[in-house]
Chain A
Amino acid sequence: MPQLSELTAAVAAGKRTDTVRLTQELLAAGSAPQDIVEKGLVPGMAIVGEQFKKNEIFVPEMLVAARAMKEALKLLEPLLASAGIKPKYTAIIGTVQGDLHDIGKNLISMMWRGANFAVIDLGTNVSADKYLAAAKEHNANLVGLSALLTTTMPAMKDTVRILKAAGLSTKIMVGGAPITQAFADEIGADGYAADAGTAVDIAKKLVGQAA
């Protein structure tokens, strides 16, 4: 039976074939799906996040690691669902209205999944009303707003305003190429992440989980 640490190393190195094989072997040997996620996959993505924050790796390595994790989750999620096991926290994510870009948003989504958040991805060009409806429907702990363009920053501001006005306890986190901490503060967002590495730490902090 393989060790969970081998799975962790395979994810961190982006080896998707090994990741899938090790996941299958761990399941066949009787490991609990939740353990495989929490003690095998999540630590692998945590390593990737740390390396990213230290500029030891960049987006390509992160994408490849996230792809490996995603392949393993395809095997595990049905088993987790049938056992009624859900992640503790739920996040909504999307790119704000008027903006069709999704690389940054997808990366954050994958990193949050890798940190064992349930992630509802609303896609791109998402209206404030759609964010609000999804936050209510899923009782989300966190809403993530992404923007690539300076021209869609006003849509981000409007979305934050509408979400805040609804009086939900959901925390709002923003990010994207033109976004800064100063802008996040100005529009009343609860958090800002400069990159996909820190996005996990900020998300955990916002939902009250120790980073």
Chain B
Amino acid sequence: MSTPAITPFLPKWRGSLTDRARFQRQMHRQPVDRCFNMEFGYWDDNFKLWPMFRDHGITNNNDADIFLNFDRTAVVGSHWMHPTFPYEEISRTATTRVLRNGDGLIAEVPMDGHDTIPHFLDSSVKTPDDWKRVKEERFDRRHPDRKADIAAILRDHPANRDYPLGVWCGSMIGKVRDMLTVEGLAYAVFDYPEMVEDIVETSCVLVEDFLDAVLPHVAFDYAAGWEDICYKSGPLVSVGFFRDVVVPRYKRISTKLRAHGVDIWWIDCDGDVRPLIPHFLAGGVNTMFPWEVNGSGHPGESLDRWGPELRIMGGVDKMALGRGRAAIRQWVGSLVPYVAAGGFIPFCDHRCPPNVDPDDYLYYLNLKEELFGMRG
């Protein structure tokens, strides 16, 4: 959300289209005035360590987007547990705390609160009986708080807005992994496949309910979702299960989206997503985000391989950003033909880590404008 107190640190890239038109045209491989300018964000530590953030009171990614004057996007919708598990501390050691999170996962986190991915220890859902109880308590599709507030969406994002608005299509398998743990999902797919399929189906129905409510009233520009179901060496879910159980639900959702003109659907999935790309595409998910290079390789290789059906958002190697300006110029320069071809919006391939020199980061942003903006 816009905060009046934030004075942009950088000028907005010059352009002749609105952010909305630019996004739409770029993702459909049509001519644009310049590339859509966005970044995925930063680790919390960056806000403490980078002088440009620290000295200007920038403490979160929403504020950073305004501060660095990126093109605007917004997404509405939320579908998962309701209510979530209550957060509670289970135990603590001298250096760590063990907490139960909103997904019912028990996780270990550092006592000093430094920015990290939690270490998940155990799940609240391990058997079909666990799932039956959790489903009844937390996945009631008739819960009044699940009702879409159409008026509020239209008030916050009017039809004549100049930025692209996305509709959140949740997660069909990543949140299942969140609830069961990586190992728990692997074992459950093997031991209780019907239970896992029912969790996926439940997720799908909640998304469909929301889409049925909002799509007739709001003109969305894209759909968005999250899975994080891959790691550096490939999928964290059986590819066969993904193809046979997850993809049919994507197809159901995609059918609803396309019936209302929403034909761009990006999913946030870290790691090496390449083994899942044909299945994502078959399900109607046509844009991968944030394309982690260390897992999925150079984005151009896959754009060349899959042709215009695949779009990518991200794909700027965070490791290159950390190696200095020559490496940054080399990497960003390699993306030029793919940005020109459309269907590709370059940004750091995850939250930018704090090991990147902030001056080099500004060099990177400036280089992007030089190569992909109207200044070039």
Query: B235 and A59: CB pair below 8 A?
Result: yes
Whether, in the assembled complex, B365 has its beta carbon less than 8 Å from a beta carbon of chain A, the answer is no
Chain A stretch 89-148: residues in CB contact (< 8 A) with chain B: 99-104, 106, 124-125, 148
A5 interface contact, C-beta 8 A: no
Q: Indicate if the CB atoms of B187 and A63 lie closer than 8 Å.
A: yes
In the complex with contacts A14-B190, A59-B236, A151-B185 CB distance below 8 A: no
- Residues on the B chain within 8 Å of A177, using CB: 231-232, 271, 294-295
Chain B residues with CB under 8 A of A209: none
Q: Could you say which interface size class chain A belongs to?
A: 20 to 34
**Residues of A148-202 whose CB lies within 8 A of B:** 148-151, 176-178, 180, 194-196
Asked if B117 contacts A148 (CB within 8 A), the reply is yes
Determine if B119 and A151 form an interchain contact, defined as CB atoms under 8 angstroms apart: no
Known A60-B236, A195-B232: A178·B294 in contact at CB below 8 Å? yes
Cβ of B86 to closest chain A Cβ, rounded Å: 23
Please indicate the chain A residues that have their CB under 8 angstroms from the CB of B43 in the complex: 151
Chain A residues with CB under 8 A of B236: 58-60
Within 8 A of A (CB), among B79-134: 95-96, 108-110, 115-119
Interface of A is mostly: loop
| Minimal Cβ-Cβ distance residue in B for A101 | B119
CB A9 to nearest CB in B, in angstroms, measures 16
B117 touches A59 (CB 8 A): no
Asked if B30 is at the interface (CB within 8 A of a chain A CB), the reply is no
Q: Mark B169-189, 1 if CB is under 8 A from A, else 0.
A: 000000000000011011101
Q: Are B355 and A151 touching (Cβ within 8 A)?
A: yes
* Complexed CA–CA distance, A113 and B29 (Å): 50
Q: Which residues of A contact B (CB under 8 A)?
A: 14, 55, 58-61, 63-64, 67, 99-104, 106, 124-125, 148-151, 176-178, 180, 194-196
Interfacial chain B residues near A59, Cβ < 8 Å: 182, 186, 231, 233-236
Within 8 A of A (CB), among B261-282: 271, 275
Number of A-B contacts (CB under 8 A): 85
Q: Chain B's nearest CB lies how many Å from the CB of A156? A: 13
Q: A residues within 8 A CB of B233?
A: 58-59, 194-196
The answer to whether A58 and B190 touch across the interface, beta carbons within 8 angstroms, is no
7 additional A-B residue pairs with CB within 8 Å, beyond A58-B234, A61-B238 = A58-B236, A59-B186, A59-B235, A67-B187, A99-B116, A151-B43, A151-B353
A-side contacts of B271, CB under 8 Å: 177
Asked if B34 is an interface residue, CB under 8 A from chain A, the answer is no
Interface residues of B in 28-46 (CB under 8 A from A): 43, 45
Q: Are A149 and B294 in contact (CB under 8 A)?
A: no
User: Are A125 and B318 in contact, CB atoms less than 8 angstroms apart?
Assistant: no
Q: Is B95 within 8 A of A125, CB to CB? A: yes
- Asked whether, in the complex, the Cβ of B187 is within 8 Å of the Cβ of A58, the reply is no
Task: Check A101 against B235 for contact (C-beta < 8 Å).
Answer: no
Q: What would be 18 A-B contacts, judged by CB atoms less than 8 Å apart?
A: A55-B275, A58-B275, A59-B231, A59-B233, A59-B236, A60-B189, A61-B238, A100-B108, A100-B109, A100-B116, A100-B118, A101-B117, A101-B119, A149-B116, A177-B271, A177-B295, A180-B319, A194-B233
